[in-house]
């Protein structure tokens, strides 16, 4: 519970930051539209409503669709929740730091905040304009931080995995190694559906094989 509490605190803090920044951009919308706040030669604060609903909707020409956006956010929340559990199980089995999970908090807050903010207004208010790339808001920044964290996590996680694989598949034929790979991948993918209290029992069986 203590570990979960820290993640809840971080997600709550990120949501509050996003809400404060969006509120400030909303309150000063007219003045910032007339005279944007220049941060440097590449960035400025210039709020604009994203009437496409999301970057992907604009990219694919879907346009604004409130129901679809809610369904996407709900699906995104389930996907990130599954990924959170899988990374937690993976870290526990291979002895990686649980601190990597904090990067996923940045991803979890995005669909939660998007769904909450659309209760008050349908469109996303973006405010940080990056020359040549578009205009973004704080949740967009959180997506980038989360993705960067996952990519960094892959480095030690893959090193651990392939060391473990090399040890367990020593002397096996190519077909046997392939079967082992599929079996191990299936186990890791199923772990998020297993209670955390049952992880260690499964880990002991895998290590003993």
Q: What is the mean pLDDT of residues 105-128?
A: 90
**pLDDT tens by residue, 139-164:** 999 999 999 999 999 999 999 999 99
Give the pLDDT band (50/70/90) at residue 57: confident
Rounded Cα distance between 209 and 199, Å, is: 16
Residue 146's nearest CA partner among 202, 90, 192, 105 is 105
pLDDT at residue 206 tops 60: yes
Q: How many CA atoms lie within 13 A of 24 on its CB side?
A: 13
**pLDDT tens by residue, 30-44:** 999 999 999 988 999
What pLDDT score was predicted for residue 94?
94
Q: Which residue has the higher pLDDT, 55 or 178?
A: 178
CB of 115 closer than 8 Å to CB of 68 = no
In angstroms, the Cα distances linking 9 to 2, 4, 109, 115 are: 11, 9, 11, 19
Angle between helices 138-168 and 2-27 (to 10 degrees): 150
Any bridge partners for residue 44, and if so which?
38, 129
What pLDDT score was predicted for residue 2?
58
Domain boundaries along the sequence of the chain: 2-153
pTM: 0.89
Rounded Cα distance between 137 and 113, Å, is: 12
What pLDDT score was predicted for residue 137?
93
**pLDDT tens by residue, 63-94:** 787 788 889 999 999 999 999 999 999 999 99
Give the pLDDT band (50/70/90) at residue 62: confident
What pLDDT score was predicted for residue 150?
96
Rounded Cα distance between 10 and 16, Å, is: 10
């Amino acid at each position: 519970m203590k570990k979960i509490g820290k993640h809840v605190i971080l997600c709550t803090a990120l949501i509050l930051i996003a809400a404060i920044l969006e509120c400030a951009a909303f309150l000063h919308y007219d003045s910032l539209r007339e005279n944007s706040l220049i941060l440097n030669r590449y960035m400025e604060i210039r709020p604009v409503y994203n009437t496409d609903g999301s970057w992907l909707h604009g990219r694919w020409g879907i346009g604004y669709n409130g129901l679809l956006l809610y369904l996407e956010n709900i699906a995104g929340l389930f996907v990130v929740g599954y990924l959170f559990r899988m990374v937690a199980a993976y870290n526990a089995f291979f002895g990686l730091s649980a601190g990597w999970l904090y990067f996923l908090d940045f991803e979890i807050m995005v669909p939660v905040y998007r769904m909450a903010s659309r209760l008050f207004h349908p469109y996303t208010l973006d405010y940080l304009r990056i020359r040549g790339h578009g205009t973004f808001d704080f949740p967009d920044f959180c997506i980038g931080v989360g993705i960067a964290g996952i990519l960094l996590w892959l480095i030690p996680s893959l090193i651990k995995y392939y060391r473990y694989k090399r040890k367990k598949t020593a002397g096996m034929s190519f077909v046997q190694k392939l079967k082992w790979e599929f079996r191990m991948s299936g186990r890791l993918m199923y772990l998020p559906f297993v209670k955390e209290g049952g992880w260690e029992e499964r880990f002991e069986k895998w290590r003993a094989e």
